[in-house]
Structure 1
Amino acid sequence: MQQRDAYFDNIKVLLIALVVVGHLIEPLSGSEIFRPLYLFIYSFHIPLFVLISGFFCKRITSGDYRIKVVGSLIVPYLIFETLYSLFDYYVLGAQKLRFSYFTPYWLMWFIFSMIIWKMLLPYAVKIRWALPISFAIAILAGYAADAEYYASISRTIVFFPFFLAGYYLDKADVDRLRTPLMKGIAAVILGMAAVIMINYGNGFRTEWFYGSLPYRDLGHPEWSAGIYRLAAYAAAVLIGGAIMILMTGRNIRGLSRLGRNTLYAYLLHGFLVRGLIATGFYEVYGDTRWMLLLIPFGILLTALLSSGFIRSRFRWLLEPKLDRLYKKQDADEGAEVQR
């Protein structure tokens, strides 16, 4: 069995913690205290998560590639899209029970888009200059007024270049960049990004980092609006690249293992976040500095939901066994697939 690379597990732990913390502080993202942190998180964590996901999709020629998409993504998507709809209606008191499988519920967009990215990847890599073409399409998509939330179309297009870049990424190239000089430059980049977010964050619209709205809805109907998306891409590359250079490759006891179960933290934490919003928690305590405790709380919640304990209890739901769903493949058919 191939040994896991602790480097990527460490990055995944960091990124899923940022996802959880980002969602916990999202209702307070307009406040002076939380806005710089919220902007910093969203400037890079989605593109970097997408890139890492693409990195682990190199076996696109394997016979069970599409079958794994069904078991690891499509079935969990259908299950949790249903559960979140039921949660909204029976627990949060939504006026109407609505199952919106083609308009993903809140955080479920990532799983929906991942399904599309994985199914599209084997065909995209056959195109010459696929990566620059995908960036060009993503820039142009912002001019389409109807590229929004339905079928997660806007985000799927906007973040696909990072998924494709992850597929092309060679870990050896990353290792060559992780020199003392580059680590110093990376630290400076992160410091400068933090200063910019703190001092000028009020002038930024976070929606530019979401990738979900056309330029017109972001207040820029002019022909040159694509420059703003280019700027968002540049921020993601610089800050995300700095994180990759600085990340340790050591196996950190009790921490690196959590990187194996990030899907559990991603899909499960939303119930708690939505519950806090529905109970009026943020309206009652939102103006107090006690809310800073949401940051360590989010980190601890990430550790809990990514633990082996949670995986053992919820594996039947997130990793269902679907062997009986597929026909048995005979030897001749299997050999044909491998050709």
Structure 2
Amino acid sequence: MFDKDLKLTNTKGILIFLVVFGHFLELNKEHYLQTFIFIYAFHMPLFVFISGFLAKRIQMKKVVNLFMLYIIFQTLYSLFFYFVGEYETMKFNYEKPIFHLWYIVSISFWYVLAVIIAKLNPNNIGKLILFTLILLISFFSRLYTDPLVNFTIELYPNFSSYTLSYQRTITFAPFFFAGFFMSNNALKKLYISLSPNIAKGLLLLSAMGVFLFIEFTPNLEWLYKGSYSTSSFLSDNETYVTKILSHFLLSTWLSILILIVINGKKSFLTKWGDHSIGIYLFHPVFVFMWEKINFMNDWNVDTQFIVNLMIALIVTTFLSSNFFTSNFRFLTSPVETIKPLLKGRYAKGWTSLFFNNKEG
């Protein structure tokens, strides 16, 4: 058994908060576009990297759990969007993940591939070859997003780059497998590759540089989100290799600095990180409800920013609370929920899920 890495847990905590905060900002992102894009420059690549690192002992049970999560929450959000007026008719579409659920689909594919690779048990040279292949496919994939969609749409009219999150799965795959192939010793060496104070200074300088980069570089949002083709993010005076390379290098650099800067002591971030799946799955309910009741349109932009920040903090804290996590574990861990059914002890298991579970 590996000791729990509180650095990774705390990093997951700050990243899941940025996911929530970024989605609240997205409601009026034109006011905060630089901040919004800055968050997207690193938060999902680093989250994916951590997921890959923690997938070394992955079992198919986890893949089944993710598949069930997708079916459950795709259904629930379809109903939710109908009742809040986002959908004119009640519809259930399992081909295109709703909003944030793309990550559940993508990580399911990565996990399956990780299980296969683990069975093959490649040596270090084999891992390097596999990672290089994944990196090259990802790096050049968006050159072929439109041609692939145009070809497939002849056979399957509803196909797009969002179908089963295929393009995002390919785009972010190198970050997952960078984590999956990284050893514990290599990660610990990365932690101490710079002193925390130097890393903090470099992170501050890098953030300032990135904000300038965002100011003078068009269409970065569509680059960083990972689903879009070159027609969405590449301008006439830009080259594909340069722009994609800037994404990979910038995301990697910021991720390294953040991993060094975040401390490994138990804090509120630890709780956020431990319960990141529940926060991730449920926070859009609050985002879209806030959109419906938002009364801040005439307020000062800075005031709106602060209010969104506070609401994101409240939502993240509530969704990581003992009350919420214990009472909704039956949805976030569906495999564990159905075990009593399969064993013929449904009533006892249902009760224990709600009242006898002591984990936070």
**What TM bracket, shorter-length normalisation?**
0.7 to 0.9
Residue 74 of structure 1 pairs with residue 67 of structure 2: yes
Q: Compared with structure 1, are the counterparts of its residues 179 and 67 closer, same or farther at alpha carbon in structure 2 (3 Å cutoff)?
A: closer
Given the alignment, which residue of 167, 175, 196 partners 2:180?
167
Residue matched to 2:18: 18
What displacement does 1:114 show?
Answer: 0.8
Residue 247 of structure 1 pairs with residue 262 of structure 2: yes
What displacement does 1:284 show?
Answer: 4.9
Percent of paired sites with the same residue: 29
Are the counterparts in 1 of residues 222 and 232 from structure 2 also a CA contact under 8 Å? no
Alpha-carbon RMSD: 2.6
What displacement does 1:184 show?
Answer: 4.0
Residue 262 of structure 1 pairs with residue 260 of structure 2: no
What displacement does 1:280 show?
Answer: 4.9
Residue matched to 1:151: 164
What displacement does 1:241 show?
Answer: 0.6
Are the counterparts in 1 of residues 22 and 39 from structure 2 also a CA contact under 8 Å? yes
Rounded Cα–Cα distance in structure 2 between residues aligned with 1:18 and 1:103: 24
Q: Compared with structure 1, are the counterparts of its residues 30 and 93 closer, same or farther at alpha carbon in structure 2 (3 Å cutoff)?
A: closer
Residue matched to 1:304: 318
Judge which range, 218-227 or 134-143, deviates more. 218-227
Give the TM-score taking structure 2 as reference length: 0.81
Rounded Cα–Cα distance in structure 1 between residues aligned with 2:282 and 2:342: 28
Residue matched to 2:92: 99
Give the TM-score taking structure 1 as reference length: 0.86
Gap regions ≥5 residues in structure 2: 150-159, 344-360
Are the counterparts in 2 of residues 81 and 105 from structure 1 also a CA contact under 8 Å? yes
1:191-231: CA deviation from partner (whole Å, max 9, x where unpaired): 12321243342333211111110112324489941321111
Given the alignment, which residue of 204, 223, 231 partners 2:246?
231
Judge which range, 158-167 or 191-200, deviates more. 191-200
What displacement does 1:293 show?
Answer: 2.1
SS at structure 1 position matched to 2:30: coil
Given the alignment, which residue of 190, 195, 204 partners 1:191?
204
Judge which range, 294-303 or 260-269, deviates more. 294-303
Length, aligned pairs only: 320
Residue matched to 1:51: 49
Residue matched to 2:338: 322
1:158-214: CA deviation from partner (whole Å, max 9, x where unpaired): 101111111112232232233384434422331123212433423332111111101
Are the counterparts in 2 of residues 92 and 275 from structure 1 also a CA contact under 8 Å? no
Gap regions ≥5 residues in structure 1: 328-339
